[in-house]
């Protein structure tokens, strides 16, 4: 972990913390003795002169304050507020209100990835900001990052009155752009100039590469200068990649309806996503569960852990063998050509992201469900925001959920029930 921003080693900071932590008892004893001496100085004999007892900190008070201070020192020293995106900053701020023990191991666990991969987190933070501004940014078909570029305007609500909601969104956006460019974030005064309170000004302001047009209804239209558009487009193209797996090619090769998608677009489901889907799904012990395109069996592992009777189907013999080696029941074959057997209580799936191929998998999977059975499918965000090929209950997954699997494509989860 880099120590450049701290100007001293983490071990030195931890040593200082440990020394002061151990010295808290002596400090409290000294304070108690000092208070006793002060009260004696403020009285003659036994006559009370009016000096009341002071509320002295306890050992626990001092040690807790020291721990919060130490974590804040490292947070600022490693420049995490610039590297981390808005969502991560809020999560870290909340966690540091009652932080873990201040050790080298915990510091590396909490901040290590931001220091070792700062550019990834800066790009991820910028992508998160724009996805939160407008759902269109979650759609690679609409945005065509690296091809069509960004819309020239986004609309932010909650800009009027004394609410900080809209201004916070604007600040998060400008801070993310500044971090990418290596420039200072706008100050509070500069933000106030761009986003004045409603009673101060309704109209247009300009600065930091944007124009802000505010309206009496509390909305604001944010227009991007040409250079800002180019900057953000470059950043998003770098994060998502110039070639996106869920965007159809210009001249797609015609294939039979059951053909396996181009290069299978195999992105194994990260554990955090598996855990999220499992937490959102009721699975009774002994439930019959199917995982099409099961890959190396990450969902099968989780399903077995909760007592489900899980079956996988996998096209790739090597990955099927990997799942079987862990004791899972896996059929080798093209899922789209497997004859439906409507006996399953649940289907969980992470089908190929390529183009609209996922829709064939979802529609075929529904045929394997018993009446009122449930499907949980991880899909590219274009399935929700663009194509309109399937319906159901949608949930967005966090930006970068599949980074460890080799893609930063935006993803969603579809929950859908079979008819009664």
Looking at the structure, do residues 274 and 342 belong to the same domain, yes or no?
yes
Q: Measure the CA–CA gap between 216 and 176, rounded to whole angstroms.
A: 27
Split at pLDDT 50, 70, 90, the class of 194 is confident
Contact 315, 295 (CB under 8 A): no
**Contacts (Cβ under 8 Å, ≥6 apart) of 206:** 194, 212
Classify residue 267 by its DSSP letter. -
89-103, 138-152, 192-206, 264-278: range with highest mean pLDDT = 89-103
pLDDT of 264-282, one tens digit each? 457 889 999 999 999 999 9
Cα angle for residues 141, 158, 193 (degrees, 5° grid): 100
Split at pLDDT 50, 70, 90, the class of 250 is very low
- Does the structure show a pLDDT above 90 at 257? no
Tell me, what's the pLDDT at 329?
96
- Does the structure show a pLDDT above 80 at 404? yes
Tell me, what's the pLDDT at 163?
65
Which among 210, 230, 232 has a CA at the least distance from the CA of 220?
A: 210
Higher pLDDT among residues 388 and 118, named by residue: 118
49-58, 133-142, 276-285: range with highest mean pLDDT = 276-285
Looking at the structure, do residues 160 and 69 belong to the same domain, yes or no?
no
- Does the structure show a pLDDT above 90 at 185? no
Q: Measure the CA–CA gap between 382 and 384, rounded to whole angstroms.
A: 5
Looking at the structure, do residues 199 and 144 belong to the same domain, yes or no?
yes
Q: What is the mean pLDDT of residues 362-374?
A: 96
Split at pLDDT 50, 70, 90, the class of 263 is very low
Tell me, what's the pLDDT at 378?
95
Range of the domain at 106: 10-40+53-116
pTM exceeds 0.75 for this model = no
Where does a domain end: 185, 205, 239? Answer: 239
Looking at the structure, do residues 267 and 401 belong to the same domain, yes or no?
yes
Looking at the structure, do residues 198 and 165 belong to the same domain, yes or no?
yes
Q: Measure the CA–CA gap between 400 and 280, rounded to whole angstroms.
A: 19
Tell me, what's the pLDDT at 150?
60
Tell me, what's the pLDDT at 338?
94
Flag whether 249 is in a domain.
no
Contacts 24+ apart (CB under 8 A), 63-67: 63/21, 63/24, 66/17, 66/20, 66/21, 66/24, 67/17, 67/21, 67/99, 67/101, 67/102
Contact 352, 358 (CB under 8 A): yes
Higher pLDDT among residues 255 and 187, named by residue: 187
Written as one string, the DSSP assignment of 45-91 is: TTB--S-PPP-PPPHHHHHHHHHHHHHHHHHHHTTHHHHS-HHHHHH
Q: Write the burial class of residue 49 (CB in 10 Å: 0-12 exposed, 13-18 middle, 19+ buried).
A: exposed
Three-state secondary structure of 132-192:
HHCHHHHCHHHHCCCCCCCCCEEEECCCCCCCCHHHHHHHHHHHHHHHHHCCCCCCHHHHH
Q: What is the mean pLDDT of residues 290-313?
A: 95
Q: What is the mean pLDDT of residues 102-128?
A: 90
Higher pLDDT among residues 102 and 187, named by residue: 102
Q: Measure the CA–CA gap between 304 and 152, rounded to whole angstroms.
A: 49
Which among 72, 154, 62 has a CA at the least distance from the CA of 107?
A: 72
Q: Measure the CA–CA gap between 351 and 331, rounded to whole angstroms.
A: 16
What backbone torsions phi and psi does residue 229 show, to the nearest 5 degrees? Answer: -55, -45
- Does the structure show a pLDDT above 60 at 117? yes
Which among 179, 184, 190, 156 has a CA at the least distance from the CA of 232?
A: 179
Looking at the structure, do residues 315 and 353 belong to the same domain, yes or no?
yes
Flag whether 4 is in a domain.
no
Mean pLDDT, the chain, rounded, equals 83
Tell me, what's the pLDDT at 304?
96
Report the percent of the chain where pLDDT is more than 90.
41
Higher pLDDT among residues 269 and 51, named by residue: 269
C-alpha 420, offset from chain centre: 36
Flag whether 372 is in a domain.
yes
Where does a domain end: 116, 149, 165? Answer: 116
Q: Measure the CA–CA gap between 249 and 254, rounded to whole angstroms.
A: 11
Looking at the structure, do residues 297 and 407 belong to the same domain, yes or no?
yes
Split at pLDDT 50, 70, 90, the class of 87 is confident
Flag whether 244 is in a domain.
no
Q: Write the burial class of residue 327 (CB in 10 Å: 0-12 exposed, 13-18 middle, 19+ buried).
A: exposed
Q: Measure the CA–CA gap between 80 and 84, rounded to whole angstroms.
A: 6
Split at pLDDT 50, 70, 90, the class of 140 is low
Q: What is the mean pLDDT of residues 347-367?
A: 90
Looking at the structure, do residues 232 and 100 belong to the same domain, yes or no?
no
**Contacts (Cβ under 8 Å, ≥6 apart) of 211:** 204, 205, 222, 223, 225
Q: What is the mean pLDDT of residues 16-23?
A: 95
Contact 183, 190 (CB under 8 A): no
Number of domains the chain is built from: 3
**Contacts (Cβ under 8 Å, ≥6 apart) of 384:** 138, 394, 396, 412, 414
Flag whether 254 is in a domain.
no
Split at pLDDT 50, 70, 90, the class of 186 is confident
- Does the structure show a pLDDT above 70 at 68? yes
- Does the structure show a pLDDT above 90 at 40? no
- Does the structure show a pLDDT above 60 at 256? no
Q: What is the mean pLDDT of residues 239-246?
A: 55
Cβ-based neighbour number of residue 345 at 10 Å? 19
- Does the structure show a pLDDT above 50 at 341? yes
130-144, 162-176, 253-267, 268-282: range with highest mean pLDDT = 268-282
Identify the CATH number of the domain in which residue 283 sits: 3.40.50.150
Where does a domain end: 116, 148, 170? Answer: 116
Tell me, what's the pLDDT at 191?
82
Q: What is the mean pLDDT of residues 221-232?
A: 85
- Does the structure show a pLDDT above 60 at 147? no
Contact 259, 337 (CB under 8 A): no
Q: Measure the CA–CA gap between 339 and 342, rounded to whole angstroms.
A: 10
The residue count for the chain = 420
pLDDT of 405-420, one tens digit each? 888 888 999 999 999 8
- Does the structure show a pLDDT above 60 at 255? no
Q: Measure the CA–CA gap between 281 and 302, rounded to whole angstroms.
A: 12
Contact 158, 172 (CB under 8 A): no
- Beta bridge pairs of residue 413: 378, 395
Tell me, what's the pLDDT at 244?
43
Flag whether 257 is in a domain.
no
Looking at the structure, do residues 28 and 162 belong to the same domain, yes or no?
no
């Amino acid at each position: 972990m880099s120590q450049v921003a701290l100007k001293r080693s983490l071990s030195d900071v931890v040593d200082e913390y440990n020394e002061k932590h151990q010295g808290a008892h002596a400090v409290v004893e000294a304070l108690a003795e000092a208070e006793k001496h002060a009260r004696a100085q403020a009285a003659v004999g036994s006559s009370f002169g009016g000096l009341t007892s002071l509320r002295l900190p306890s050992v626990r008070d001092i040690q807790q304050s020291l721990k919060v201070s130490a974590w804040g020192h490292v947070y600022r020293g490693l420049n995490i507020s610039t590297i981390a995106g808005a969502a991560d900053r809020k999560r870290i701020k909340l966690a540091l209100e009652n932080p873990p023990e201040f050790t080298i191991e915990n510091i590396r666990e909490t901040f290590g990835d931001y220091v070792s991969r700062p550019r990834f987190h800066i790009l991820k933070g910028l992508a998160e900001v724009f996805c939160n501004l407008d759902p269109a940014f979650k759609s690679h078909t609409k945005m065509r990052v690296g091809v069509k570029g960004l819309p020239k305007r986004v609309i932010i609500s909650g800009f009027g009155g004394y609410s900080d909601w809209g201004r916070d969104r604007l600040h998060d956006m400008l801070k993310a752009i500044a971090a990418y460019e290596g420039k200072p974030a706008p100050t509070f005064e500069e933000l106030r100039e761009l986003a004045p309170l409603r009673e101060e000004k309704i109209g247009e302001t300009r600065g930091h590469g944007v124009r802000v047009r505010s309206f009496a209804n509390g909305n604001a239209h944010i227009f991007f200068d040409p250079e800002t558009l180019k900057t953000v487009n470059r950043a998003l193209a770098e994060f998502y990649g110039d070639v996106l797996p869920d965007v159809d090619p210009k001249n797609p090769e015609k294939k039979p309806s059951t053909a396996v998608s181009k290069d299978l677009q195999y992105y194994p489901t990260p554990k955090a996503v598996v855990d999220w889907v499992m937490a959102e799904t009721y699975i009774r012990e002994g439930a019959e569960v199917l995982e099409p395109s099961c890959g190396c069996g990450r969902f099968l592992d989780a399903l077995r852990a909760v007592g489900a009777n899980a079956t996988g189907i996998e096209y790739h013999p090597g990955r099927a063998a990997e799942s079987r080696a862990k004791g899972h029941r896996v059929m080798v074959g093209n899922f789209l050509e497997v004859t439906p057997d409507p006996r399953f209580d649940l289907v969980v799936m992470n089908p190929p992201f390529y183009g609209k191929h996922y829709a064939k998998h979802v529609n075929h999977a529904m045929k394997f469900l018993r009446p009122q059975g449930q499907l949980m499918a991880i899909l590219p965000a274009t399935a929700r925001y663009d194509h309109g090929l399937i319906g159901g209950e949608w949930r967005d997954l966090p930006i970068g959920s599949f980074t460890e699997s080799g893609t930063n494509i935006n993803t969603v989860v579809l929950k859908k029930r079979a008819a009664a």
